[in-house]
Amino acid sequence: MLGPIAQNLVFGIMVGGLYGLAAVGLSLVFGVTKFLNVAHGELLMLGGYAGFWIFTLWGVDPFLSLPLVVVCLVLIGLVLYKLLFARMVKLTEENKIKNTLLVGFGLSLVFQNMALRLWSADDRGITTAYSGQALTLFGVRFPVVRLASLAIAVVTLLLLDLFLHRTYTGKAIRATVQDWEAATLMGIDIHRVYLLSFVVGAAVAGIAGALVSVGYSIEPAMGLEWTLIALIVMVLGGLGSIVGTFVGGLVLGVTQSLTSYWIGGTYREIVALLIFLVVLVFRPQGLFGSKEG
Amino acid sequence: MLTVEEIDAGYKDLQALWGISLAVNEGEIVALVGPNGAGKTTTLRVISGLLKPSAGCVLLRGRSLAKEPAHRIVELGISQVPEGGRIFTGLTVLENLELGAFGSNARKVKDQSLQWVFGIFSRLEERQRQRAGTLSGGERQMLAIGRALMSKPGLLLLDEPSFGLAPLLVEQIFQMITEINRQGVTILLVEQNVRAALELTQRAYVIENGRIVGQGSGEALLSFESVRSAYLGSS
Amino acid sequence: MTGKRIITLVLIIAVLALLAALPAVVSRDSIINMAVLVLLYVALASSWNILGGYTGQTNLGHAAFFGLGGLTTRLLWLSAGWSLFPSLLAGAGAATTLALIIGTPAFKLKGVYFAIGTLALGQVLNVTVGDMFPMITSLPVQQLVSYQLLPRYYLFVGLAVLTVGTAYVLVNSRLGLGMMAVREEEEAAESLGVSAFRHKLLALVVSAFLAGLTGGAFAFYHVGYYPQFLFSPVWTFDALMMAYIGGTGTIIGPIIGALFFVVAKELLALRLVEIHLTVFGTLFILVVLFLPGGFVQAWASIRRALVRQLGARGVRLASRRQAS
């Protein structure tokens, strides 16, 4: 009886790490710039396809190709920011959120449709030589690939946390989250901070997407679900704390996993959405939630 | 050192400043006094580049700041302590101070600046590891001023440093401002606490409804009849 | 002003006459089907516009109302053996009930949170329906044999007229004024005694009722589909894009948007493979960034420029005549 529960717990934690990673990118961008980029899930999708094609065409191991995926997403992030999002920096906060939401929305359509035309609607996944391997501990299976993905997610988040707390640029980003005008008075060029956050957010989404393509599967229409997951985790974890976001991801992953064990697979998404709606209604300021301070 | 010439400025359709001119010489403490909503803060925002004027210009040592974005103006030597301090409450005291030295030149001498600021505000040294949000009102103001000093400014703009502080603390803060000025930092001070401001400064400008309506030495303005009746509550 | 009114009236009558006469003029089913599509989108985009455009509440879960209307109508009409109009009304009633249930919690959410909340809500229904009704729903054989396009076409004509008419009457009433006040400045509206919540709820209910009716009409029209299809976020996104491209917060905007959407989609599909969503997505982004009022605004500024030009020329002509 306990065995399957423990197994589902482990699977939940593994997928939860990726949820955390997906949410951290969105949360960083939203916290700094107040851009609500609902095409975040599509960035994840692009990262997934980048990893998939690098593996399929050149046979590069998906974990080794991560830096290449990051480069791709950095470029995409740069172009999107310069072409579209930079135009919305000067709007009032409310209009900024609304317009970026709408633009993100259009972008998600464009990316989804392009991916569908270029790469077909098929589910894709990376199968390496070691994909089937798993460690077994007390009767609980730990698939190697997902274990490695979780480790990479944790390392990425730790590095990001170090960057935000230990470097001058990171501190400038945190200061901008709190009060962009006061940050300007420190001599911080907030446009550069915005650009940097946006690009880092895209890169982290790319890593998450590539990991999804290794441990799970990707398809052109996956974006909306992942955007919603990232939003849910962002609300659960509160803004401004990477550890909080990561824990929020784990909570969601475990909840989903246990739900599908007890109630049935199709309800995993519904449970997540219901949690989200409840949190949203009872904490309407949710997304701005626990700012630092 | 600083010359403000015939500035018009405002927000959207609302013009807040009408032909403001003032000058601050090297080493001075100059006050800008006036009632609430007269345009004092707006004037500081124009000088520090947060708000671009619709007419007129700001010159720093003869150089126009018209095309400089706000973050560059800090590097050119003007540092502003905004109203209410606006410290980064989620960051530590030390991190706040480090951010004050964000510009590349200031960053090179960060450690010396830190010693200098700790010399003036010893309380900040004791609390450097704390989160700034845990500081008391007076300490927050000290941190805001200390943070602004970290950029090694030639000119310090202070917006209502006495706001919301107990009288004893106000006196302390004003003593520290005098000390900072004695160490070579030119100061432009915006205050509602007119008496204290005028006692502190060599010269002052009086601003009303977005226009400069009077200027003179602090002492002269103290005896200036309309200033007395309007702001000092004595007839 | 009255001259302008007469022109508008004549135009409306002409459009209605054209719609009524269309089947007599063209006999090809493909054209009628395209017209049905335009009318469907006119109704869907106009119903979205009541809440999204006029009241300023970006509803990203509109498909839920459309889908619920369609699901209910189809079930009652096909499985329970109800006749068409009661089924349609019941479908619209189901959508309205959903609106009333979610209204109170949903409008606790302001601005963008409302948008995200409705997006999530739409997905909840989408996934649930996909799970509960996994089988394709097809018209039974006797229905297929007697399937007639024309009644369905006229149903959609009536639906589009009803939707646009309701929107017109609503936004030109005191209630509509209140809705727009809420959109512009919620707090200011409240301080004038306009209850933001009541006006939003009214807009949501009317919008949901009409969307439910549209879904029902679609269920009557379409031969076979998966029930989940009606709940797909695509319906929301299409309605939103059409309203924006045409011009939100105007009566004519969603109509122009729908017409443009369907016609351009057909033309694009002829020339290029299915990339129309890429094109529309791009166009939508451009409209949001550079032309927040959509085609309606573009037309207004073009006309203003033309009038100014013509006016200037008129003055020049007049002065030249005087000089000579």
CB B130 within 8 A of CB B93: yes
Which pLDDT band, with edges at 50, 70 and 90, does B227 fall under? low
* Cα gap C185→C167, rounded to integer Å: 21
* Cα gap A51→C134, rounded to integer Å: 33
Interface residues from chain A to B (CB-CB < 8 Å):
168, 171-172, 174-175, 178-179, 181-190, 240, 291-293
The answer to whether ipTM exceeds 0.85 is yes
For the stretch B2-46, pLDDT in tens is: 999 999 998 877 899 999 999 999 999 999 988 888 899 999 999
Neighbours of chain C (3+ CB pairs under 8 A): A
Compare C89 and A239 and report the one with higher pLDDT.
Answer: C89
Q: Among A225, A174, A197, A220, which residue's Cα sits nearest to residue A19?
A: A225
Query: Minimum mean pLDDT among A231-235, C56-60, C214-218: which range?
Result: A231-235
Ordered by start, the domain boundaries in chain C are 26-292, 298-324
Residue C224 pLDDT: 86
Mean pLDDT of B222-231: 61
Closest residue in chain B to residue A178, using alpha carbons only: B88
Mean pLDDT of C75-79: 90
Closest residue in chain B to residue A176, using alpha carbons only: B88
- Residue A95: pLDDT over 90: no
* Integer CA distances (angstroms), A151 to A279, B26, C271, in order: 29, 58, 48
Q: What are phi and psi of A264, to 5 degrees?
A: 145, 145
pTM of the model: 0.86
For the stretch C290-313, pLDDT in tens is: 888 888 888 888 888 888 887 777
Residue C271 pLDDT: 66
Residue C193 pLDDT: 82
Which pLDDT band, with edges at 50, 70 and 90, does A291 fall under? very low
* Cα gap A153→A147, rounded to integer Å: 10
Query: Minimum mean pLDDT among C120-129, C140-149, C308-317: which range?
Result: C308-317
Closest residue in chain A to residue B70, using alpha carbons only: A184
Residue C270 pLDDT: 67
Q: Among B151, B218, B144, which residue's Cα sits nearest to residue B177?
A: B144
Q: A178 and B100: CB-CB below 8 Å? A: no
- Residue B92: pLDDT over 60: yes
Neighbours of chain A (3+ CB pairs under 8 A): B, C
Interface residues from chain A to C (CB-CB < 8 Å):
36, 84, 87-88, 94, 97-99, 101-103, 105-110, 112-114, 116-117, 224-225, 228, 231-232, 266-267, 269-270, 273-274, 276-277, 280-281, 284, 286-287
One-letter identity of residue B60: L
CB C211 within 8 A of CB C66: yes
Residue A49 pLDDT: 97
Exposed/middle/buried for A24, CB within 10 Å: 0-12, 13-18, 19+? Answer: buried
Mean pLDDT of A147-167: 94
* Cα gap C106→C89, rounded to integer Å: 24
Compare B91 and C315 and report the one with higher pLDDT.
Answer: B91
Q: B70 and A240: CB-CB below 8 Å? A: no
Q: Which residues contact A64 (CB under 8 A, 6 or more apart)?
A: none
- Residue A141: pLDDT over 90: no
Q: B102 and A168: CB-CB below 8 Å? A: yes
Which pLDDT band, with edges at 50, 70 and 90, does B200 fall under? confident
* Cα gap C298→C316, rounded to integer Å: 27
Neighbours of chain B (3+ CB pairs under 8 A): A
The mean of the pLDDT values for chain B is 90
High-pLDDT (> 70) share of chain C, %: 95
Q: Among A34, A190, A44, which residue's Cα sits nearest to residue A100?
A: A34
Residue C303 pLDDT: 86
- Residue A289: pLDDT over 60: no
The mean of the pLDDT values for chain C is 88
Which pLDDT band, with edges at 50, 70 and 90, does B235 fall under? very low
Half-sphere exposure of C258 toward its Cβ, with a 13 Å CA cutoff?
Answer: 25
High-pLDDT (> 70) share of chain A, %: 95
Which pLDDT band, with edges at 50, 70 and 90, does B167 fall under? confident
Residue found by looking up tokens 């202070």 in the block:
B158
Query: A9-126+134-282 is classed in which CATH architecture?
Result: Orthogonal Bundle (1.10)
Closest residue in chain B to residue A173, using alpha carbons only: B99
Tell me the two tokens of residue A149: 């993905």
Exposed/middle/buried for C315, CB within 10 Å: 0-12, 13-18, 19+? Answer: exposed
Mean pLDDT of A126-150: 87
* Cα gap C47→B34, rounded to integer Å: 54
* Integer CA distances (angstroms), A32 to A153, A193, A240, B180, C316, in order: 22, 8, 9, 34, 55
Half-sphere exposure of A217 toward its Cβ, with a 13 Å CA cutoff?
Answer: 8
Which pLDDT band, with edges at 50, 70 and 90, does A290 fall under? very low
Query: C26-292 is classed in which CATH architecture?
Result: Orthogonal Bundle (1.10)
State whether residue B190 sits within 8 Å of chain A by CB: no
Compare A46 and B14 and report the one with higher pLDDT.
Answer: A46
For the stretch C253-280, pLDDT in tens is: 999 999 998 888 888 776 666 777 888 8
For the stretch A31-40, pLDDT in tens is: 899 898 999 9
Which pLDDT band, with edges at 50, 70 and 90, does C20 fall under? confident
Residue C145 pLDDT: 81
Residue A5 pLDDT: 86
Query: How many angstroms separate the CA of residue A32 from the nearest CA in chain B?
Result: 14
Residues of chain C positioned with their CB less than 8 A from the CB of A281? 105, 108-109, 117
Residues of chain C positioned with their CB less than 8 A from the CB of A269? 123, 127
One-letter identity of residue C186: E
